[in-house]
Amino acid sequence: MGPASVFPRNRSDIERLAANYYSYVSDRLFFICGRGQSGRVTLSCVGRALLSFELERVDLKANLSAIHYRIVGGLLNRRNRAGGTLSLSVEPIDADTCRLCVTVSGYQPRLNGRLGGIAFKHIQSPVHQWLSDGFVRWAAAGGGERD
């Protein structure tokens, strides 16, 4: 990601990194990223919530900083309800480098069966990978501050 000096050492730093991630996603896909009370984040398009996230926990350790959001609903989520977690984590590699990782676990796409599997595999999953990789490159290049 860049110099270890940017390693998030407190809750404010890791929350700012997450806010930058959601803003990055919003900018690239022309979605609206809304942040509400108690750490809730919603990505919307044409007034409809595509995915909603709720802050689950923050981990701050000497060798890892991470923020985890539960996926709590949205049109892209199965049955428009909770399922899965999006996590952003940063770990120092050496004195000059950090590793930033964006992962999704336990996610259930809305469409199921063969058609849903094909849509997820060939559209939604590659778009998430493209966004995550782009955010890591953006952050490594200095990224700039966003809210």
Distance between CA atoms of 74 and 76, rounded to whole angstroms? 6
Domain 4-140: top CATH class: alpha beta
pLDDT digits (tens, 9 = 90+) for 84-138: 899 989 888 877 778 888 888 887 776 666 666 677 777 777 887 888 888 888 8
pLDDT digits (tens, 9 = 90+) for 23-59: 888 888 777 777 766 678 888 888 888 888 999 999 9
Residues recorded for the chain: 147
Sequence ranges of the domains in the chain:
4-140
| Among 41, 25, 31, 42, residue whose Cα is nearest residue 130 | 25
Q: Is residue 9 within 8 Å of residue 65, measured between CB atoms?
A: yes
What pTM value is reported for the model?
A: 0.77
* Residues with Cβ within 8 Å of residue 67, at least 6 apart in sequence: 14, 15, 17, 18, 55, 57, 58, 59, 87, 88, 89
Phi, psi torsion values for 88, nearest 5 degrees: -115, 125
